[in-house]
Amino acid sequence: MLENELNELMMERHKKLDDLNEAGIEAYSNDFDREDIVADILDNFEELEAKEKVIKAAGRIMAFRNHGKSSFADIVDMSGRVQVYAQQNKLGEELYELFTSLNIGDHVGIEGTVFKTRRGEISIRVKSFKLLSKSLRPLPEKWHGLKDVELRYRQRYVDLVVNPEVKDKFILRSRILHKIRSYLEGRDFLEVQTPLMHPIAGGASARPFVTHHNALDIDLYMRIAPELYLKRLLVGGFEKVFELGKNMRNEGLSTKHNPEFTSLELYEAYADYEDMIEITEDLIKTVAQDVLGTLEISYDGLEIDLGDWDRMTMVDSIKKYAGVDFSEISTVEEAKALAKEKGVKVDDKTSVGEIINEFFEEFVEAKLIQPTFITQYPVEVSPLAKRNPDNPDFTDRFELFIAGNEIANAFSELNDPIDQKGRFEAQVSQREAGDDEAHMMDEDFIRALEYGMPPAGGLGIGIDRLIMLLTDSPSIREVIFFPHLRPEVK
């Protein structure tokens, strides 16, 4: 719709609002007592018709057809859509004229009885109605809708109104979250809340957002992960905890990244990363089966079987997909020479483990289409994971990949305060060398570990990415109500 056309239509609607005010008609009323929702009206039509029950429904007008002395409109509420039928000889000339002056987008309350039209469509015969909210902006045209992708994300409130499939996707998101909670509660996990503002950014390798607390006169970091606080709860005696909430990371935007996102983190005392593998697979399969009714899904043109899961070490995966065997590489010089040969940029890397990780990201990630657990991550890229007892250069850690996307990250948690302090010190050195995503030193967390944290397994799942997968959404912005965008250009 062109800007001048929009302005003309808005002027017409403002004129109607002025006319309503002049006539003493409230355009934003709040005294209609809705008693019936559309889905119940449609489901119980025969009973309602037989009893000639007067129903009271409310919703937004989404279609209007004026036939002179009678008019049809469609109203929509959260549960569905129903047709309403108004006649001048039933309402009276003045009230009927008010009805025909309504616009698509207006909210109305309807009182009447149900019947079926000659075409068999369930409808409400209007006995009275009330304007509840006047829409001053016209909705996008019926046949064109809201198609501009950025405009859809920026004006999600309109997107939800005119694109029903978008609303359905977010209803599915809510069901997925509910199922995750009920699954974990069924395994005796306790849901907890930890701070969103931290004195030290920790729990992940990421650049934080910084804010300032005036009363304390200190800078604080918006949470990049709840991990270190949840582990403090393990120290305090809580043995199974989870948090389903928001994290904020001051990073770039992409189809897989939004600076504010939802994650699940859970920790179980006396468990390890093998237990986390079992929970991860069972949780995702249970949610998919319960919410979608199947384990065979489509994502971005790919057929995914959530009933068939693979597993391999990081080194083995690189050998399979890149033809490079890092089990035969022992020095940084050898690893860098190999990287140069393969075109992998690793000039700033100081360990074989970091170079292994770069090879994995370059050659393997995108090829992991079916559900695959990648295990045994190098110590250098796993500062919070416990070392593998048989190969201490690697950790008992896994990441889950589906359709080339990282979905989950888990490990046997490091509970040795001396080892943990050494890892933090190594991270601090990386930070001082210019890596602003490296961990900071957290002396209080070390102190907590010194009191004794039980052996534990921990798991983090990117909820938005999981929902992308289960709703076949190629962009994270499709599954976040209000994704972050660049400022609107006027």
Interstrand relation of 80-87 and 70-77 (parallel, antiparallel or unpaired) = antiparallel
Are the CB atoms for 386 and 414 separated by under 8 Å? Answer: yes
Residue 274 assigned ligand-binding role: no
Strand pairing report for 372-378 and 310-313: parallel
Alpha helix (H) residue ranges in 80-236? 88-91, 93-100, 149-154, 156-162, 164-186, 227-235
Q: What is the 3-state secondary structure (H, E, C) of 286-353?
A: HHHHHHHCCCEEEECCEEEECCCCEEEEHHHHHHHHHCCCHHHCCCHHHHHHHHHHHCCCCCCCCCHH
Q: Is 399 annotated as a binding residue?
A: yes
Burial 364-398 (b: 16+ CB within 10 A, else e): bbeebbebbbbbbbbbbbbbbbbbbeeeeebbbbb
Do residues 242 and 427 touch, judged by C-beta distance below 8 A?
Answer: no
Nearest to 73 by CA among 37, 121, 29, 120: 121
The distance from CA 414 to its chain's CA centroid, rounded to whole angstroms, is 29
Amino acid identity for residue 93 in this structure: E
Closest CA to 86 of 78, 77, 108, 105: 108
Known binding positions for Mg(2+): 399, 406
Known binding positions: 399, 406
